[in-house]
Structure 1
């Protein structure tokens, strides 16, 4: 991947001192250059999983890619899988989420990002959910998700210090 694969990592190192966190969002295909670049630049990785059969089956491939990325980027830590775009009235999604949790346990975040209209509307208006729909269910869910991610980051930092 050479210089192109590490350009994002260099950029993140340059801007990181100006921010509390730098969040990189990549395409879902873990085998492409933009996603690989994000993995080389990141310290933590979350994997969104739509609770459907093919998404759940893709986890083995994602895990292999993450292992390869962690060999190349020793700072990269897996934070967990986040159930995303879950339909609240779908027994199919409910069953797949239960199966995912049974297999992967605490590797799956407790917070579930449900398929709320406010997420799509805010994105379409290029606003955060907090700006578009403050105090909405989507805003509260986003805050819950962020809180859980920060707790996981802190736990990993404490575990590294203790080791």
Structure 2
């Protein structure tokens, strides 16, 4: 089982969109996937069309319910652990707990028979994001192809290094994913060039295009594959899943 955090403290870079559609892409490639919504805004849960009233991850953290009680089946290969706004209170509740950074790691030890676990993180470097990084094998970092997108990356990389040094020695960066790429603008190409120059083969070959379809699909509780299966966005996420699978199978990262 490979556990990926989708992380970047900057909002609007495509974390939730990536977690949602990459989960579906892996499931379409016959991999068994569990997506975890670790953001109190619960946008991933909404994107899956799931109402958290029947159970959410906060109730597992607070020992009110078991993981088995709250996990939701999306299709034969895809499952979701939903979130809701109550999760925002967890930060205060656990601030004095020992090993508070490892709570999620201890919970998902109980997940069985999955090929991939994908964790959607909040747009911050709070204890929730630290929990995700501590529980993960590696990190996928979405980077928007816009002017301010590189700001904050240095801080994120320092946090990842700190987690690796003190909490999770096996943590790696799986790759930087260029999102919201607009082929009509020189800026998108300039950002791509800068990223590839800085991080070389750590930048995925696949880039995710800017598309209004990504904004529309979640409002119907659908992935891009259900909402616009022949769109460039759907093709891009399927190709990304194939690129990741190929690297995972080779152990080339």
1:114 alignment partner, SS class: coil
Shift of 1:79: 0.6
2:101 aligned partner: 5
> Are the equivalent residues in 2 in contact too, given 1:80–1:109 (CA < 8 A)?
yes
Equivalence for 1:19: 114
Q: Which runs of 4+ in 1 moved over 3 A?
A: 1-4
Q: SS where residue 109 of structure 2 aligns?
A: helix
On the 8 A contact 1:79/1:152 being kept in 2, the answer is: no
Tell me which moved more, 147-156 or 124-133. Answer: 147-156
CA distance in 2 between partners of 1:89 and 1:108 (Å): 21
How much has 1:146 moved relative to structure 2?
0.9
What is the aligned partner in structure 2 of residue 53 from structure 1?
147
Aligned-residue offset at 1:81: 0.6
Aligned twin of 1:130: 225
In structure 2, list runs of 5 or more residues that go unmatched: 1-94
Q: Note closer, same or farther for the CA distance 1:128–1:73 as it changes in structure 2 (3 Å cut).
A: same
CA positional deviation for 1:55: 2.1
Q: For 1:92-130, what per-residue CA distance to the aligned partner results, in whole angstroms no more than 9, with x for missing partners?
A: 122111111122211111111111122221122221211
2:236 aligned to 134, 141, 155, which one? 141
| Kept after mapping to 1: 8 A contact 2:209/2:232 | no
Q: Secondary structure at the match of 2:119?
A: coil
SS in 1 for 2:161: helix
* Aligned CA-pair RMSD: 1.9
TM-score, length-normalised on structure 2? 0.57
Counterpart contact for 2:147–2:187, Cα < 8 Å: no
| Aligned partner of residue 180 in structure 2, secondary structure | strand
Query: Does the Cα contact within 8 Å between 2:225 and 2:234 map onto a contact in 1?
Result: yes
Give the match's secondary structure for 1:70: helix
Aligned residues: 156
Partner of 2:160: 66
**Rounded Cα–Cα distance in structure 2 between residues aligned with 1:119 and 1:112:** 14
Instruction: Provide the TM-score with structure 1 as the length reference.
Output: 0.85
Task: Write the distance in 2 (CA, Å) between the matches of 1:149 and 1:98.
Answer: 21
Unpaired segments ≥5 residues, structure 1: none
* Distance apart, 1:21 and its partner CA: 0.8
Larger relative contact order (CA 8 Å, sep ≥ 6): 2
What secondary structure, in the 3-state scheme, does the structure 2 residue paired with 1:140 have? helix
> 1:3: Cα distance to partner?
4.3
